[in-house]
Structure 1
Amino acid sequence: MTQTYSTQMEAAKLGIVTPQMAQVAEDEGIDAEVIRERVARGTIAIPANHNHPALHAHGVGEGLRTKINVNLGISGDERDYECEMQKVRTALEFDAEAIMDLSNYGKTHDFRRALVDMSPAMIGTVPMYDAVGYLEKDLGNITAQDFLDVVRAHAEEGVDFVTIHAGLNRKSIDSFKRSGRMMNIVSRGGSLIYAWMEMTGNENPFFEHYDELLDILYEYDVTISLGDALRPGCVSDSTDAGQVSELIELGLLTTRAWERNVQVMIEGPGHMALNEIAANMQIEKTLCHNAPFYVLGPLVTDIAPGYDHITSAIGGAIAAANGADFLCYVTPAEHLRLPSVQDVREGVIASKIAAHAADLANGVPGARDWDDRMARARQRLDWPAMFDEAIDRKKAEEYVASTNPHDPSTCTMCGAMCSVRTMNKAMKGENVSLL
């Protein structure tokens, strides 16, 4: 008798290895049965909506390569969908595993459908952003059912995961208000939910109607990414009562989702000093039962506008080396403007470097092989092979082509004094001439 299932988690609990699990196992070099067992426990999520046939399935979580997400989408001030599609192509060029459409103006469904139809990467959204434009209602007039209807619309369109700020309930808001934050709530979705709750006097609709929400997500196998509405927006606010109180709620919501066979990811900080990152990763894994952890950065200082792809990559590498599974990229435009295509390129590369550095530290299977191939190419002074291994081939080639060394096997940094050239000759018993 053939067993039926609706979600990856449900299949895993039934002992079934789905095609998506098999794909993840092949990509990661891990036995498919190990993947299945971890999906069943919830420590790996495979976001894979039934309505996303172009998807190349990726796993996020225990023992896997660190994945990255690329945020894009239009705003009220910048409405060029073709530019956003160029950003999509840039993200896919560098093998980003996920793309989130955070469009927050007007009717966004046409772009989202086109994105799902063409993208092999996982697609995520924050339905809360789309509510005003989708429903053509002002925030205070939206009902709890309206919010659920928008989630269903996104699920039907094929998105693989949705960020839902369900942990911002009356209890966590009380902790937030009493903690006296410098930056209050910097989560866009979190601020909108908070404002709605204050205007209407109602409980968070995603918390109050969580079971109905899970029913929608179960039907399409949409992974819930439990959003951190109270993530710190500056280093002064990190690891405060509001952040931790919400995280406790997210842990409780995680088990409720798993009981209904809905996959879960947990979203995490924001801005945080270096010395707090490792502890925060452990707190999340403990409170949220080792669910996959998805972090924005964290940005390790607040003073570098224009360079926050760097502050984020520093924090992301430390976070992933200490348990984070999924890095949301940050571009140089963070805090300043909607990113350009070039900003997206730089943000993706910085995040990929951070992810790979963490994979090296964590001994992820195959991670060291890439570095070893580059090292062997450098030892041979084999420039074409170095370009083959470069994370950004175009930039590496442009740098080399921009100068004219006397010996084309070396670069203009050391020239005849190139240590690699010197050692290659010396170890062959050849004379080393610097003239």
Structure 2
Amino acid sequence: MSYNTQMEAARKGIITQEMESVAKKECIDVAALRDLIAQGSVVIPANINHASLEPCGIGRGLKTKINVNLGVSKDCCDFASEMEKVRLAVAMKADAIMDLSCFGKTETFRQKLVQSSPAAIGTVPVYDAVGFYDKELEDISVEEFLGVVEKHARDGVDFMTIHAGINRETGRRLKNNPRLTNVVSRGGALLFAWMEINNRENPFYEYFDDLLEICRRFDVTISLGDACRPGSIKDATDASQIQELIVLGELTKRAWEKDVQVLIEGPGHMALNEIAPNMLLEKKLCHGAPFYVLGPLVTDIAPGYDHITSAIGGAIAAANGADFLCYVTPAEHLRLPTLDDMKEGIIASRIAAHAADLAKGVPGARQWDDQMSEARRNLDWAKMFELAIDPEKARRYRAESQPEAEDSCTMCGKMCAVRNMNKVLSKVNII
């Protein structure tokens, strides 16, 4: 029995190799996974042309996944250094990598990225359109926008951010309800500008069916972009954000009618108390589609530390239903991230994802923590390093400050509670 997409296969009762691989990694029943894909609650981004892919599942009941952004800009155009970031992201177990390159001819880099990365690859085609056609934004035609989408699909991109929800009506809502930070989504701002200059509807909204045909042909998962995501906590949960979310829910149903897999993208910047209600809103308005969030950043006052503000929000978001976290680095709002920035961002996001998995009771999540606690009780430093989310840093800290007693650390020395309890309970002298 033939099929074009993972969703179509699932709806026909077919269990694909990708489903088998994901079910094994997630320790769940493959038939149950197939049913979740069929109803749209789980996606497996897996372009038919991405031969090096090690598929991962994103959605209900699965481990929270993380995405790493990279790519060149006009001010920092070094594809070799971006490939170093790719290698680091893969080594640090990122589940997905988004190429957000927005300058020059990016085709060669994108193709090399797809060929070399086992992680799912995402892009934002509208970023590439200006450089690809070497045209002013307002001069790019509908056919050319769709042409870039098809080019990315042919190159093997697994999921694409498409800002189809910022249509003319959403734009009116935005203008009638002024914001502190307006539109902070780069793709959203480009399309808003294109619509305003040309006095036309968003091409990705108007020609959504043509977009779906491309995605169906290559099994590209549509990540419906949140052009109106809040760029400050003041703008969170406002009229334009909710208006766009309603449109995204409608587009989700249209995509599912064509057996195209869908992710929904979300905020953004948001105060702690608004995060859980926003997760509920998305799941309600977008019919349980997997939710992909940038942060949310829970305060606006920490440039240089936004990997922390993001991790706080990401843990709360994922514990309340978000399925996919986009990492944020300490360089957010300041510069293109370095390798060190990337590492900090990945670790912070992985901690947030795991903390949420503990709260959600994801199978296997607590076992990792229990193993670490057992190693600490036994003062088994080698095992602690092996289990650490960042073994290199843990080993370095231990090596930099050596204690007098090997079964302690320089914080407590022989007064170590764990050491002394072990000795007392085994009836051995403490000192």
TM-score (norm 2): 1.00
Residues 1:129 and 2:123 aligned together? no
The residue identity in structure 2 corresponding to 1:268 is G
Structure 1 residue 420, shift from structure 2 partner: 0.5
The residue identity in structure 1 corresponding to 2:97 is I
DSSP 3-state at the match of 1:373: helix
1:315 is matched with: 313
1:327 is matched with: 325
Which of residues 280, 292, 304 in structure 1 aligns to 2:302? 304
Partners of 2:241 and 2:250 in 1: how far apart? 15
Alignment of 1:289-368 (within 5 A): 289-368=287-366
Residues 1:4 and 2:2 aligned together? yes
DSSP 3-state at the match of 1:396: helix
2:230 is matched with: 232
Moved over 3 A (4+): none
Residues 1:243 and 2:268 aligned together? no
Which of residues 185, 188, 200 in structure 2 aligns to 1:187? 185
The residue identity in structure 2 corresponding to 1:384 is A
Partners of 1:195 and 1:57 in 2: how far apart? 36
The residue identity in structure 2 corresponding to 1:61 is G
DSSP 3-state at the match of 1:412: coil
Once the two structures are superposed, residues 307-338 of structure 1 have per-residue CA deviations (whole angstroms, 9 ceiling, x without a partner) of: 00000000000000000000000000000000
1:27 is matched with: 25
Structure 1 residue 125, shift from structure 2 partner: 0.1
1:402 is matched with: 400
1:16 is matched with: 14
The residue identity in structure 1 corresponding to 2:77 is R
DSSP 3-state at the match of 1:123: strand
Partners of 2:218 and 2:175 in 1: how far apart? 37
1:430 is matched with: 428
Alignment of 1:54-133 (within 5 A): 54-133=52-131
Partners of 1:229 and 1:213 in 2: how far apart? 18
TM-score (norm 1): 0.99
Structure 1 residue 408, shift from structure 2 partner: 1.6
Aligned residue pairs, count:
431
Structure 1 residue 281, shift from structure 2 partner: 0.1
1:44 is matched with: 42
Partners of 1:358 and 1:89 in 2: how far apart? 26
Once the two structures are superposed, residues 350-401 of structure 1 have per-residue CA deviations (whole angstroms, 9 ceiling, x without a partner) of: 0000000000000000000100110111111000000000000000000000
1:278 is matched with: 276
The residue identity in structure 2 corresponding to 1:410 is S
1:221 is matched with: 219
Once the two structures are superposed, residues 199-223 of structure 1 have per-residue CA deviations (whole angstroms, 9 ceiling, x without a partner) of: 1011000000000000000000000
The residue identity in structure 1 corresponding to 2:65 is K
The residue identity in structure 1 corresponding to 2:192 is Y
**Alignment RMSD:** 0.5
The residue identity in structure 1 corresponding to 2:18 is Q
2:384 is matched with: 386
DSSP 3-state at the match of 1:398: helix
DSSP 3-state at the match of 1:352: helix
DSSP 3-state at the match of 1:266: strand
Structure 1 residue 179, shift from structure 2 partner: 1.2
Partners of 1:4 and 1:325 in 2: how far apart? 29
DSSP 3-state at the match of 2:273: helix
Partners of 2:68 and 2:59 in 1: how far apart? 18
Structure 1 residue 409, shift from structure 2 partner: 1.8
Partners of 1:54 and 1:410 in 2: how far apart? 45
Of stretches 87-96 and 54-63 in structure 1, the one that deviates more from structure 2 is 87-96
The residue identity in structure 1 corresponding to 2:186 is R
Structure 1 residue 90, shift from structure 2 partner: 1.1
DSSP 3-state at the match of 2:292: strand
Which of residues 244, 259, 264 in structure 1 aligns to 2:262? 264
DSSP 3-state at the match of 1:207: helix
The residue identity in structure 1 corresponding to 2:371 is R
